[in-house]
Copies of this chain bind each other. A is one copy, B any other.
Amino acid sequence: MLRLSKLTDYGMVVMAALADAEDDTRNAADLATSTGVAPPTVRKLLKRLNRGGLVNSARGARGGYRLARPAEDISIADVIAALEGPVSLTECAAHDGLCSMESVCRLRGHWRVINDAIRGALADVSVADMNRPAPNMPLQPAPGIASRLGS
C-alpha cells in the first residue's frame, strides 16, 4: 500500500479546482459541486488547507477561498503536510526517542534518507503540474537512492 488518505486525495482535487479559478474566490458549496466531493468534506478540507497556509479565506457573503500562492509554488508535499502532517515513512523518521531500539537500530538512518528522498520528490511536483492534461503513458522509475545509502 503506502497509501495517502482519501482526504488527501480529495484535497488534491480541490486544490486543482482552485487552481483553475486562479483569481476568483470560490466558496465551499461551489467547489463541492464542481469536484463531486461531498460538501461537508470539502469544508473540512478547506479548513485544514487554510490552517496550513495553502489557501486564503474570506468570510461573509460573497466570501470563499482562493490559493494563497500561485499554483506553481504549492507542491504536493505541501498539500500532504497540511492535510495529514509531514511525510514520514516510519515513526522513528519523524520523532526521536519513541522507539526503544533506537540506539541500536541500523535501519533508522537509512529510513531517514529514503524518507527525505520521497519528500523531495513530492516537493518537486506542484499543483500546477497536476493540473495539466495527464500523460497517458507510464514512466521511468526515479533514479537511485541506493547509492546515497552507504556510509
Contact = CB atoms under 8 A, between A and B. Distances in A.
B118 A118 contact: yes
A16 B125 CA distance: 33
Interface in A63-106: 76, 80, 84-92, 100-101, 105-106
Contacts of A129: 110, 146, 149-150
A99 B7 CA distance: 14
Interface residues of A, number: 66
A109 to B, nearest CB: 3
28 contacts: A1-B87, A2-B118, A3-B88, A3-B89, A4-B89, A13-B105, A13-B107, A36-B101, A106-B130, A110-B125, A112-B138, A113-B135, A116-B138, A116-B139, A118-B118, A118-B121, A120-B140, A121-B142, A121-B145, A123-B141, A124-B145, A125-B146, A125-B149, A129-B146, A129-B150, A133-B151, A135-B148, A140-B148
